[in-house]
Each structure stands twice: as C-alpha cells, then as structure tokens.
Amino acid sequence: MSTTTAETQGLPDPMGIDLQPEIPREHYINTDYSWKSWLFTLDHKRIAILYLVSVTVMFFIGGFGAMIVRLNLLSPHGAIVSPQTYNRMFSMHGVVMVFFFLVPVIPAVLGNFLIPMMLGAKDLAFPQINLLSWYFYIVGALIGTTALTFGGVDTGWTFYAPLSTQFAYGNVAWTIVGAFLAGFSSILTGLNFIITTHRMRAPGLTWFRLPLFVWAHYAASLLQVLATPVLAITLLALLVERLFGVGIFDPKLGGDPVLMQHMFWFYSHPAVYIMILPGMGVISEIITCFSRKPIFGYKFVAFSSLAIAVISFVVWGHHMYMTSQSAFASIVFSFLTFLVAIPSAIKVFNWTATLYKGSIRLETPMLYCLGFIGLFTIGGMTGLHCAALATDLHLHDTYFIIAHFHYIMVGGQVLAFMAGLHFWWPKMTGRMYSEGWGRTAAVLLFIGFNLTFFPQFILGYEGMPRRYPTYAPEFQVLNVMSTAGASILAIAYALPFFYLIWSLKNGPIAGPNPWRATGLEWQTQSPPTTFNFDRIPVVVAGPYMYSPEADEILDAQMAVEVAQLELQRTKAVIAQHHAENEEAGRGV
C-alpha cells in the first residue's frame, strides 16, 4: 500500500481516500522499466497499457481516413481526392475503426486492467493467452494498416463478394489477413474473461454482487468467443476464392454472393454488440458513483446484457433486406431486431432512474456518461427506423445508416471509453488530469459530434447515398456543416491526448480512491501493485452501496482527518520555532 497514508499516521481512512497522497513506492509500472519487461509481461495491467497505446495509434489512423472523407465531401464534385482514393479512404476508416479500434478498445484496455481487480483476483485466468492476444492484435493491425496504406482496398470494411474476390484492386488479401489475426485476439480476450469470471471470483463475490461492468464484459465475451470464428471462416473463404479463382460466392460458378453476406453478418452484427456492451458496463459504474446512488434495477441491467448478447445472434439479416434474402427471413429478422431494442431500452431507463434524486456531480466522466445516454438513445431509436422493412427500403445505403451507427459507435462507444478512461485514469496512473480541460473536451466532443452527424440523418432521409465521393449539389450545406463539426470533433479528440499525457508527470497525485467509489479496484493503491491485492478480499455486500448517509460519514471522517493533520502541522511548526529559538539563544 502507500507509504504515507492516513493509516500510517494513525488516522482512520476507511475509503482509502488518502489526504496526503504520494505515489506508492512500488507499483506495477516501476517494478521494471526495461522494454523486455513490457513486451514479455504477463501482468494484465501492463497488457492493458500496451493495448491502450496500440488502439490510440489505430484510432488516429482511422481518424485520418475520416478526415480525408469529410474534406472530400466539402464539394459536391469531390474536393480533394479521386474517387478511387476516396473509396480507399472510407474503406480504411471502416476497417481500422471496426477491427482495430472499436472491437478491442474497452475490453482489451479497461476490461483487461479492471476485471481481475473487480473480481479480487491476482490476474486473469490465462495471462500468457492474454499476452498472446495482444501479439495477434498488433501483428494483425500492422499487416492490415500496411496493406491499407500501400495499395489499399476499395471494397468498404464489409468486403462483399464478388467485388472483393474478383474485381477489387488493391490489397484485399493482406487486409483480410490483418482482420483475421485481429479476430484471434478478440477470441482469446473473450475466452479469458469468461473463465476468469466463472472461476476466479473472491470469496463472497457471488454473481449478483458482481459489478455490472463485469456482467457486460461477460456478455460481450460470449459474443467474442462464439461469433468471431464465423468471421474467421468467412475471411478464409474470401481468401480462397480470391487467391485460387474458385467460386464459393460467384454466381457464374454456381455460388451465391448473398451467402457471403449471411456468413459475414453472422459475425458482424454480434460484433457491434461486442463493441457497445462493454461501453454500457462502463456507464453503469460511473453513473452510480456520480449520482451517489445504487443502480436502479441491478438484476434487470445484468440480465439485459445477457439478453442483448443472445438476441444479437439472430438479427443479422437486418443488414440484408435489400438483397435476395427471402421476405420471410426479412420479416423474422425485422421482428427479432425490434426485440433486441428492448433490453437496451431497459438499460437506458434504469440509468435514468439511477439519476433520479441522486446527488449528481458533473465531473468529466459524468459528462461523457450523460452524453452517452442521450446520444445512444438517439442512435438506438433511429435503429428502429432501420429495422423496419418499409423504411429501410428508403434508408438502406444512405447517410441515415451512417448517422445511426455513428451515434451508437461514437456517441455511445467512444464516449463510454472516454468516460471510463477518465474515471479510471487515477487508478491506472496514480495521477489526476486537469478537470477544467477534461470538461472542456467533453463539451466540445458533444457539440462537435452532433454537428457532424445530425445533419447526416437529414442527408440520408433526403436520399444522399453512402460511399459516394460526389453528391447532388443541394446536399452541400449539410455536408459542409458535417465537416465543420468533424473539425471540432478532431480537436475534442486531440485535447485528452495532450492533457492526459501531461498529467502523467504533472498531474496532482490521486491516491487510492479520489472518486470515493465503491468497488474492489478502489481498495488498492493507485497505481496498483503487480499482484493487485496484498490479501485476497472477502466480499460481504453487493456493489454500488452509495448513499447520502455513507457520504455524510465520509465527509465527517474527512473533516476529522483534516483537523488532525492541521494539528500535527501546527505542532511541527511550533517545534520548529522552539528549535530555532534555542539555536538563537545559544548563539547570543
């Protein structure tokens, strides 16, 4: 634990708040600074940091693609790049963001770091597999981004056959290899989480005492383990077809291109829930802490994570209404898609009910959190427009779809990641960031995001197709608005990058629990030691035991500690004076 805590000064410090925090003498970062100790680490926290650095790089690469896309769309005739380059840019944006950023970001960064700690364990069940997952990821990401940069693909991230197998220029095969390897990373991470959650919980930590963060990751891990292999075989089939010129999906050779879409979306729909479920887990943790209230309807939120996971497996056909998919299948898929909205809505209602009559504090994580709830709701509701057969007829392949999923992926997922990053930053680094800059960035992100993507709903509704480098002139105003918003968004992404890194050396020291949060991870020092806990904790109550009474007690205790510290300081000053006077007296 820390060297100078209220505890060591003989003062009570039940929440580990630590009035005079110092960076602990030994923690998981300073045990060894050599590059070997990082690249061959088995510590889940170090692996999480490795992932954090990697996904950040990927995010900026994918963001670059988006920047080119939006700049090009400033003019109806395509402002800056040729159509072929434009195709490569949006494909790069999609592939990098989906496979190398969105899927791993919250599970591999926050999940890896926190789940063992939230369970009271020393590490995940399979630390070597954890490291292997990072290596799969980094090799896949390197191959994929290299292929996308030198040559590129113009198929979009969806690689539909026969374009991808027969007619596409560029590095389809290598990009597919990159995505394939990244998929293994995802599978291994999910496998690790499932088994750790089943079998490595601390004594007393029953399933219904688990933080909802763990439930959400458990559900997402089920998807990672069961859906990703189908992507693997789909990508392999695409590779075989492209490299050997055979016709699994080629109609001329008796194949069915829609089969490729079935297999692709069988993974890729659950994939979007792999992305959003962990984000929802983050929101549950933060909203309780910053409302000082337990979650409303814990079991409903927990089971809705599982329900989303299960139902998400049987809705993939809603991406294929406009193919030769049978009307019967389309109806079934549409109905099931409406069903999957229900557990998501339950979560939103429960979060809102958690806020009700809470003692709300609007620190940075909470700002992102509230933004999430609003933007996710809009994204989710527009999902219903997409799910309905009659409306999708008009909306498919327009900007409405793009706006819908960006509201979920950026307005939801990215905001949730930002929220979680800021919330657990003190735990991961031992430092607090600048709250002023944090709030500024959060507000800028919200404004920039809405300015970027709300016009796209209108554009899509009015018929502007997606993946086109040019458009009809009447759409220009909204496109310019969208690009302007994207510039603000870019600033809002860049700001945390700078002030978070700056805080590593210059931020105020955080202490074990600056947010006064419940949860086992807050019972350790910040940053934690390599093995997290000196002694395995025993859990005696459920999560989120926030209450006004508990906070009053904390306030009172804090006042006592402050007073006692003042007393000690005053005594020290007096002692100092005495010593000086004696010296002076002797000198005379």
Partner 1 sequence: MAAHDATHHGHGHDHSHAHGEAYAVHVPTRVYYWNFAALMVLLVITLFAAYFDLGEWNLFIAMTIAVIKALLIVLFFMHLAYSTRLVRVFAGAALFWLIIMFVLTLGDYFARQAPSMPGH
Partner 2 sequence: MASETVTAGQHAVAEHAADHPHGPAYLHHHFDDVEQQRECTSLGMWSFLATEIMMFGGLFFVYSLYRWLYPDAFHIGSHHLNITLGTGNTFVLLFSSLTMAMAVHFATENNPRMTVICLGLTWILGAAFIGIKAVEWTTDYREGLVPGLNWTYYNHEEGLRELANKPIGPQHVMMYFVIYFSMTGLHAIHMIIGLILVGVFMRYAAKGQFNGGNDQPVELMGLYWHFVDIVWVFLFPLLYLIAGFHPGGLGGGAP
Residue ranges binding partner 1 (CB under 8 A) = 120, 198, 202-204, 209, 226, 230, 251-252, 254, 256, 262, 266, 313-314, 317, 324-329, 332, 518-520, 523, 534-545
CB closer to partner 2, 104 vs 279: 104
Asked if 274 is part of the footprint of partner 2 (rule: CB under 8 A), the reply reads no
Of residues 15 through 44, those in contact with partner 2 by CB under 8 A are 26, 31-32, 34, 36-37, 40-43
Contact with partner 2 (CB under 8 A) among 218, 529, 546, 561: 529
Task: List the single partner that 325 binds among partner 2, partner 1, none, CB under 5 to 8 Å by kind.
Answer: partner 1
CB closer to partner 1, 120 vs 438: 120
Give dist(CA 133, CA 180) in Å, integer: 13
Note whether 416 and 280 are within 8 A (CB): yes
Asked if 395 is part of the footprint of partner 2 (rule: CB under 8 A), the reply reads no
Task: List the single partner that 537 binds among partner 2, partner 1, none, CB under 5 to 8 Å by kind.
Answer: partner 1
Contact with partner 2 (CB under 8 A) among 52, 177, 181, 194: 194
Give dist(CA 513, CA 511) in Å, integer: 6
Q: Which phi-psi region, left, alpha or beta, contains residue 250 (left: φ > 0; alpha: ψ -120 to 50)?
A: beta
Q: How far is the CB of 32 from partner 2 (least distance, A)?
A: 3
Note whether 352 and 309 are within 8 A (CB): no
Q: Which phi-psi region, left, alpha or beta, contains residue 204 (left: φ > 0; alpha: ψ -120 to 50)?
A: left
Binding track over 128-167 against partner 2, x by CB under 8 A: xx--------------------------------------
* Tokens representing residue 1 in the block: 């634990």
**φ, ψ for residue 330, nearest 5 deg:** -60, -40
Give how far Cα 94 sits from Cα of 58, 157, 158, 324, Å.
11, 5, 8, 25
Q: How far is the CB of 133 from partner 1 (least distance, A)?
A: 19
What interhelical angle do 415-429 and 364-387 show, nearest 10? 150
CB closer to partner 2, 39 vs 472: 39
Q: How far is the CB of 15 from partner 2 (least distance, A)?
A: 25
Asked if 207 is part of the footprint of partner 2 (rule: CB under 8 A), the reply reads no
Give dist(CA 399, CA 463) in Å, integer: 8
Task: Pick the closest to residue 117 from 524, 527, 546 (CA basis).
Answer: 524
Q: How far is the CB of 40 from partner 2 (least distance, A)?
A: 6
Q: How far is the CB of 140 from partner 1 (least distance, A)?
A: 24
CB closer to partner 2, 40 vs 208: 40
Give dist(CA 20, CA 28) in Å, integer: 21
Give dist(CA 236, CA 233) in Å, integer: 5
Note whether 260 and 237 are within 8 A (CB): yes
Asked if 248 is part of the footprint of partner 2 (rule: CB under 8 A), the reply reads yes
Q: How far is the CB of 120 from partner 1 (least distance, A)?
A: 8
Cα Rg for the chain, rounded, in angstroms? 26
Task: List the single partner that 32 binds among partner 2, partner 1, none, CB under 5 to 8 Å by kind.
Answer: partner 2
Give dist(CA 408, CA 313) in Å, integer: 18
Strand partners, 279: none
CB closer to partner 2, 127 vs 463: 127
DSSP assigned state of 396? T
Of residues 169 through 188, those in contact with partner 2 by CB under 8 A are 187
Read out DSSP for 439-470? HHHHHHHHHHHHHHHHHHHHHHHTTPBTT-S-
CB closer to partner 2, 145 vs 196: 196
* Positions in the binding site for partner 2 (CB under 8 A): 26, 31-32, 34, 36-37, 40-43, 121-129, 187, 191, 194-196, 198-200, 225-230, 232-234, 236-237, 240, 243-248, 252-256, 259, 263, 529-531, 536
